[in-house]
């Protein structure tokens, strides 16, 4: 209750224009794992850039070009500090988590992997942390192996020696599942990877929006996430990479800004991280992400974490009270938060999501870009609700009553 009061006092929802449209019915937005809503502070930062100092970065010698470069580059420092690295060269701006993963798959995996090598993923991955590795494996002759998922919702780490072998060259796993909400013991997994000399990539798309990240402490080689899932604009992804890794990699895209000098025959790459940022970047969106990080820091990341956990555990117990409905994962002893998937024994997820929408509640129905997870549970689809810091207990009650009405309707 204390936490709830704190957030009531802060009145967080008043910062989000989408929740304050008097001409529309209230929006109960429970699809935050997909993307989050944007506070005025973020919209205003984007707007200010376009209205007051719109110019390209790293090029002009006039005042607003320098201002734009300074604003853009200061977000790099902000991100570095936010995820626990002192070295700004570790931070590459991309378009999304998906692009960050593909960058590593092309510039690192395709360069260094060969026949006989193994890429280790898990059965829990979002397609974006699976398909790029399938492609890289096809291209290099490496094999793809995976750590299986238990039905309880956690990874089966009972015999790690089966998965981590001398052939394992890369371990790519999600920090948190976008279907089950399970937070994986990535520190332990990174340890196993290091023991066999494998590199590591952690997909933090779901974890970073509500949890404190310390990449130095994790000691992973790569860490990726998306700005739009943490109140930032769409179009910005982050790739954290250890400097020595980034140095050995070839550029991903060629073009302007990523070179030091070019003749008609060849180019000399720019230093990291610029080597990986070809062409005009998403300047406004990066600046917007900076405002989102400020907003999160003002709220305090630990408070965001406890608010989201409180909402999640409340929703899990309320959903479990409903007859005929099964929640995936979230079993005792499994660290899980923010995302809940469930299904009803008779009503198709599509129908549930559609009816909830008519009550003004936005939820997701489908396979959530994680078909192997659905297969594990013998489902073709599930309903997914996911929370963020601006959601309320009252919205959970609306969800429950919407579900009850849905069941009544399809009885």
Give me the residues that bind another protein (CB under 8 A), please.
347-351, 354-355, 358, 365-367, 371, 374, 379-381, 409-410
Q: Find the shortest distance in angstroms from Cβ 129 to ligand PLP.
A: 6
Widest CA span in the chain: 72
**What is the C-alpha to C-alpha distance for residues 328 and 354, in angstroms, rounded to an integer?**
21
Tell me which of 69, 122, 140, 178 binds ligand PLP, using CB under 6 A.
178
Is residue 98 within the footprint of ligand PLP (CB under 6 A)?
yes
In sequence order, the β-bridge partners of residue 93 are 238
Tell me which of 32, 107, 122, 128 binds ligand PLP, using CB under 6 A.
128
Is residue 211 within the footprint of ligand PLP (CB under 6 A)?
no
**What is the C-alpha to C-alpha distance for residues 276 and 254, in angstroms, rounded to an integer?**
8
Q: Find the shortest distance in angstroms from Cβ 410 to another protein.
A: 7
Q: Find the shortest distance in angstroms from Cβ 391 to ligand PLP.
A: 18
Which span (52-60, 91-99, 254-262, 322-330) binds ligand PLP, by CB under 6 A?
91-99
Q: Which is nearer to another protein, 139 or 354 (CB)?
A: 354
Window 3-62: residues binding ligand PLP (CB under 6 A): 33
**What is the C-alpha to C-alpha distance for residues 86 and 73, in angstroms, rounded to an integer?**
14
Q: Which is nearer to another protein, 52 or 354 (CB)?
A: 354
> Which partner, another protein, ligand PLP, none, binds residue 310 by CB below 5 to 8 Å per kind?
none
Helix, strand, coil % over all residues of the chain, rounded to 5: 45, 15, 40
From the number of C-beta atoms within 10 Å of its C-beta (0-12, 13-18, 19+), residue 322 rates as middle
Q: Find the shortest distance in angstroms from Cβ 379 to another protein.
A: 8
Q: Find the shortest distance in angstroms from Cβ 270 to ligand PLP.
A: 25
**What is the C-alpha to C-alpha distance for residues 167 and 120, in angstroms, rounded to an integer?**
10
Is residue 338 within the footprint of ligand PLP (CB under 6 A)?
no
Q: Extract the tokens encoding 189.
A: 């997994």
Q: Find the shortest distance in angstroms from Cβ 264 to another protein.
A: 44
Catalytic one of 369, 379, 393, 400: 369
Is residue 226 within the footprint of ligand PLP (CB under 6 A)?
yes
**Closest CA relative to residue 58, chosen from 213, 380, 266, 283:** 283
Q: Which is nearer to ligand PLP, 128 or 307 (CB)?
A: 128
Is the preceding omega at residue 244 within 30 degrees of 0, hence cis? no
Is residue 129 within the footprint of ligand PLP (CB under 6 A)?
yes
Check residue 257 and report its DSSP letter.
Answer: T
From the number of C-beta atoms within 10 Å of its C-beta (0-12, 13-18, 19+), residue 156 rates as middle
Is residue 206 within the footprint of ligand PLP (CB under 6 A)?
yes
Q: Which is nearer to another protein, 120 or 352 (CB)?
A: 352
> Which partner, another protein, ligand PLP, none, binds residue 203 by CB below 5 to 8 Å per kind?
ligand PLP
Half-sphere exposure of 285 (CA within 13 A, CB side): 18
> Which partner, ligand PLP, another protein, none, binds residue 171 by CB below 5 to 8 Å per kind?
none
Q: Find the shortest distance in angstroms from Cβ 350 to another protein.
A: 4
> Which partner, ligand PLP, another protein, none, binds residue 180 by CB below 5 to 8 Å per kind?
none
Q: Which is nearer to another protein, 17 or 324 (CB)?
A: 324
Q: Does the annotation mark 369 as catalytic? A: yes
Helix (H) or strand (E) holding 341: strand 339-344
Which span (13-21, 200-208, 241-249, 375-383) binds ligand PLP, by CB under 6 A?
200-208
The β-bridge relationship of strands 28-29 and 361-362 is parallel
> Which partner, another protein, ligand PLP, none, binds residue 354 by CB below 5 to 8 Å per kind?
another protein
**What is the C-alpha to C-alpha distance for residues 28 and 31, in angstroms, rounded to an integer?**
9
Angle subtended by helix axes 393-409 and 301-320, to nearest 10? 30
Place of tokens 């009553």: 401
**Closest CA relative to residue 144, chosen from 317, 346, 372, 301:** 372
**What is the C-alpha to C-alpha distance for residues 381 and 371, in angstroms, rounded to an integer?**
9
**Closest CA relative to residue 367, chosen from 349, 353, 351, 352:** 349
Residues that bind ligand PLP (CB under 6 A): 33, 96-98, 126, 128-129, 174, 178, 203, 205-206, 226
Active-site residue numbers?
Answer: 369
């Amino acid at each position: 209750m204390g936490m709830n009061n704190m957030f009531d006092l802060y009145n967080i929802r008043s910062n989000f224009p989408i929740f304050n449209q008097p001409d529309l019915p209230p929006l109960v937005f429970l699809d935050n794992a997909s993307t989050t809503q944007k506070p005025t502070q973020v919209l205003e930062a984007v707007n200010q850039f376009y209205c007051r100092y719109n110019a390209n970065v790293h090029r002009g010698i006039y005042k607003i070009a320098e201002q734009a470069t300074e604003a853009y580059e200061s977000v790099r420092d902000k991100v570095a500090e936010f995820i626990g690295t002192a070295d700004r060269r570790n931070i590459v701006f991309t378009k999304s988590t998906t692009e960050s993963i593909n960058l590593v798959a092309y510039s690192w995996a395709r360069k260094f992997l060969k026949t006989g090598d193994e890429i280790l993923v898990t059965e829990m991955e979002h397609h974006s942390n699976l398909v790029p590795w399938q492609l890289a494996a096809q291209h290099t002759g490496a094999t793809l192996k995976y750590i299986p998922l238990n039905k309880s919702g956690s990874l089966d780490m009972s015999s790690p020696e089966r998965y981590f072998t001398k052939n394992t060259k890369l371990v790519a796993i999600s920090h948190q599942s976008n279907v089950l909400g399970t937070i994986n013991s990535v520190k332990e997994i990174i340890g196993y990877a290091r023991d066999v000399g494998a590199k590591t990539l952690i997909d933090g798309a779901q974890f970073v929006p509500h949890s404190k990240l310390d990449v130095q402490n994790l000691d992973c080689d790569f860490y990726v996430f998306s700005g739009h899932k943490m109140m930032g604009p769409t179009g910005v992804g982050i790739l954290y990479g250890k400097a020595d890794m980034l140095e050995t990699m070839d550029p991903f895209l060629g073009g302007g800004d990523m070179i030091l000098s070019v003749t008609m025959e060849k180019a000399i790459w720019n230093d990291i991280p610029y080597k990986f940022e070809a062409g005009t970047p998403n300047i406004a969106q990066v600046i917007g992400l900076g405002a989102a990080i400020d907003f999160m820091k003002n709220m305090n990341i630990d408070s965001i974490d406890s608010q989201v956990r409180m909402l999640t555990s409340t929703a899990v117990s309320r959903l479990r009270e409903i007859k005929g409905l099964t929640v995936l994962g979230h079993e005792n002893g499994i660290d899980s938060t923010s995302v809940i998937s469930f299904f009803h024994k008779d009503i198709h997820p599509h129908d549930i999501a559609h009816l909830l929408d008519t009550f003004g509640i936005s939820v997701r129905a489908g396979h959530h870009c994680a078909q192997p997870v659905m297969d594990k549970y013998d489902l073709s689809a599930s309903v997914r609700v996911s929370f963020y810091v601006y959601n309320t207990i009252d919205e959970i009650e609306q969800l429950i009553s919407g579900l009850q009405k849905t069941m009544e309707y399809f009885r």
